Amino acid sequence: MNKQTQNESLARGLSNRHIQLIAIGGAIGVGLFLGSASAIQAAGPALVLSYAIGGIIIFFIMRALGELILYKPVSGSFSTYAAEMIGPWAGFITGWTYWFMWVVTGMAEITAVGIYVNTWFPDIPQWIPALIALVAVYLVNLIAVKAFGEVEFWFALIKVATILVLIVVGLVMITTGWGNNGEAVGFSNLWEHGGFMPKGITGVLFALQMVMFAFLGVEMVGIAAGEAQNPEKTIPSAVNKIIWRILIFYIGALIVILSLYPWNQLDGKTSPFVLTFAKIGIPAAASIINFVILTAALSSCNSGIFSTGRMLFTLAGQNHAPQALHYVSRRQVPSRGITVSAIVLLFGVVLNYFIPEKAFTYITSVATFGALWVWGIILYAHIKFRQKHQPTSFKMPGTPWTNWIGIIFLIGVGALLSLEESTRIALYVAPIWFGILALSYQLVRKYNKNDA
How high is the pLDDT of residue 236? 92
**Which residues are registered as beta bridge partners of 228?**
14
Please classify residue 210 by burial: count the beta carbons closer than 10 Å to its beta carbon, then call 0-12 exposed, 13-18 middle and 19+ buried. buried
The answer on pLDDT for 7 being more than 50 is no
How high is the pLDDT of residue 352? 65
- Helix 16-27 to helix 285-317 angle (10° resolution) is 110
The H-assigned helical ranges of 192-230 are 200-214, 220-224
pLDDT per residue as tens digits for the range 37-53: 778 888 999 999 999 99
How high is the pLDDT of residue 351? 74
Cβ count within 10 A of residue 324: 10
The answer on pLDDT for 239 being more than 70 is yes
How high is the pLDDT of residue 3? 40
**Which residues are registered as beta bridge partners of 14?**
228
Are the CB atoms for 104 and 36 separated by under 8 Å? no
pLDDT per residue as tens digits for the range 158-181: 988 988 988 998 898 888 877 667
How high is the pLDDT of residue 267? 73
How high is the pLDDT of residue 6? 41
Cis omega (within 30 of 0) on the bond before 400? Answer: yes
Mean pLDDT across the chain, nearest whole number?
A: 87
pLDDT per residue as tens digits for the range 127-159: 888 899 999 999 999 998 999 999 999 998 998
Are the CB atoms for 335 and 142 separated by under 8 Å? yes
DSSP classification of residue 396:
P
How high is the pLDDT of residue 359? 66
How high is the pLDDT of residue 186? 86
Cβ count within 10 A of residue 87: 12
**Highest mean predicted confidence (pLDDT) among 79-88, 98-107, 356-365, 426-435:** 79-88
How high is the pLDDT of residue 358? 67
The answer on pLDDT for 21 being more than 90 is no
Closest by CA position to 156, among listed 20, 327, 13: 20
Residue 56 pLDDT level (bands cut at 50, 70, 90) = very high
Dist CA 112 CA 299 (whole Å):
12
The answer on pLDDT for 434 being more than 90 is yes
Q: Which residue has the higher pLDDT, 414 or 245?
A: 414
Task: Read off the pLDDT of each residue in 344-350 and give the average, rounded to a whole number.
Answer: 83
Q: Which residue has the higher pLDDT, 353 or 189?
A: 189
Q: Which residue has the higher pLDDT, 290 or 31?
A: 290
3-state secondary structure (DSSP) of residue 36: helix
Phi, psi dihedrals of residue 14, rounded to the nearest 5°: -100, 120
Residue 452 pLDDT level (bands cut at 50, 70, 90) = low
In this structure, of 84-98, 249-263, 371-385, 390-404, the range with the lowest mean pLDDT score is 249-263
Helices (H) and strands (E) in the chain, counts: 19, 0
Cβ count within 10 A of residue 330: 7
Please classify residue 198 by burial: count the beta carbons closer than 10 Å to its beta carbon, then call 0-12 exposed, 13-18 middle and 19+ buried. middle
Q: Which residue has the higher pLDDT, 241 or 383?
A: 383
Q: Provide DSSP, 331-386.
A: TSS-HHHHHHHHHHHHHHHHHHHHS-HHHHHHHHHHHHHHHHHHHHHHHHHHHHHH
Phi, psi dihedrals of residue 298, rounded to the nearest 5°: -65, -40
How high is the pLDDT of residue 1? 36
Dist CA 72 CA 229 (whole Å):
14
Dist CA 123 CA 375 (whole Å):
42
Dist CA 431 CA 352 (whole Å):
24
Which of left, alpha, beta for 409 (phi over 0: left; psi -120 to 50: alpha)?
Answer: alpha
How high is the pLDDT of residue 5? 41
User: For residue 294, what are the contacts with CB-CB under 8 A and spacing of at least 6?
Assistant: 113, 116, 117
In this structure, of 59-63, 114-118, 119-123, the range with the lowest mean pLDDT score is 114-118
Are the CB atoms for 302 and 290 separated by under 8 Å? no
Dist CA 299 CA 109 (whole Å):
9
How high is the pLDDT of residue 4? 40
How high is the pLDDT of residue 39? 84
The answer on pLDDT for 27 being more than 80 is no
Q: Provide the sign of the torsion angle of the four alpha carbons 74, 75, 76, 81, taken in this order.
A: positive
Dist CA 343 CA 423 (whole Å):
28
- How far the first Cα of the chain sits from its last, in Å, is 22
Dist CA 52 CA 40 (whole Å):
14
pLDDT per residue as tens digits for the range 373-429: 999 999 999 999 999 999 999 999 999 999 999 999 999 999 998 887 777 888 888
How high is the pLDDT of residue 360? 66
The pTM score is: 0.91
Dist CA 423 CA 368 (whole Å):
9
Q: Which residue has the higher pLDDT, 175 or 364?
A: 175
